[in-house]
Amino acid sequence: MARNVRSRGGFLKVFFLLILTVIIVVAGLLWLNFIGVLKIQDQLSFVTRWFGVEPREQIENPMDLYLLDNERIQKERESLNILQDELSGLQDNLSLKNQELLQREQELQELELSLEEKENSLNEVAQLYENKRANLEQNALYLMGMEPIQAKDIMLAMDDLDVVDLMRTSERLAREAGQTSLVAYWISLMPPERAAEIQRLMTEKPE
pLDDT tens digits for range 29-65: 667 666 655 555 555 555 555 555 555 555 455 455 5
3-state SS assignment for residue 159: coil
Q: Which long-range contacts (CB under 8 A, 24 or more apart) does 175-182 make?
A: 182/144, 182/148, 182/151
What pTM did the predictor assign? 0.43
**Which of 57, 81, 100 corresponds to the end of one domain?**
57
Range of the domain at 48: 24-57
Q: What angle do CA 177, 182, 186 make, to 5 degrees?
A: 160
Does residue 108 carry a pLDDT above 60? yes
| 149 domain-assigned | yes
- CA distances 33 to 23, 29, 36, 182, Å, are 15, 6, 5, 128
| 13 domain-assigned | no
Distance, in Å, from the CA atom of 206 to the CA atom of 39, rounded to the nearest integer, reads 110
- Number of structural domains, the chain? 2
| 98 domain-assigned | no
pLDDT of the residue at 190: 92
Express each pLDDT in 126-150 by its tens digit: 787 778 888 888 988 999 988 999 9
| 69 domain-assigned | no
